[in-house]
Amino acid sequence: MKVLQCAGKNYRITRQRQAVLDALQKPGSVPDAGWVLEQVRKDMPNISLGTVHRSMNLLRQAGLVSRTRSAAGIEHADRRTNVNCYATCIRCGSNVDVKIDARDDLASLTASATGFRITGARLDFYGLCPNCVKREPQG
């Protein structure tokens, strides 16, 4: 039996929790609970949104995923927990993971300027996604 340690307690890795974690590991955008629910329901049609939310929260507390909130206020989860960098569409709320190397330099500069020991970082960019740009009137 797989066990997840969280807040000093042991929690079983249930089929539902494993399915949520597996969905979060899929490449692509940074998913919200609705997206995770759609993915998990392909194999578990009776899973509820509440179970997905509770599983995502437990996985976050255990340090297996991180949480971010888009400009639209939608909570997203990310399998990577070290440095998070996102681009969020201000129109439709889509949220994608950005892979850039400048984050490490920014963390070093921030540590030097503030004296902080940086343990995590999050960098957000806002604008229009390619689909919303296509819908913009031309001219």
User: Domain extents for the chain?
Assistant: 3-134
Tens digits of per-residue pLDDT, 28-80? Answer: 656 778 888 998 999 999 999 999 988 888 887 777 776 665 555 555 555 54
Topology of domain 3-134, CATH: Arc Repressor Mutant, subunit A (1.10.10)
Q: What are phi and psi of 102, to 5 degrees?
A: -65, -20
pLDDT of residue 82: 47
Q: CA 14, CA 55: separation in Å to the nearest integer? A: 9
Rounded mean pLDDT, 110-116: 84
Say whether 19 sits in a helix, a strand or coil. Answer: helix
Mean pLDDT value of segment 126-137: 88
pLDDT classification of 23: cutoffs 50, 70, 90: confident
What share of the chain has pLDDT > 90, as a percent? Answer: 14
Distance between CA 124 and CA 76 in Å, rounded? Answer: 13
What's the confidence (pLDDT) of residue 44? 93
pTM confidence score: 0.52
pLDDT digits (tens, 9 = 90+) for 89-103: 888 888 787 766 555
Average pLDDT of the segment spanning 102-125: 75
Describe the chain by its helix, strand, coil percentages, rounded to 5.
Answer: 35, 25, 40
Q: For all residues of the chain together, what is the average pLDDT? A: 76
Residues 6+ away with beta carbon under 8 Å from 80: 66, 97
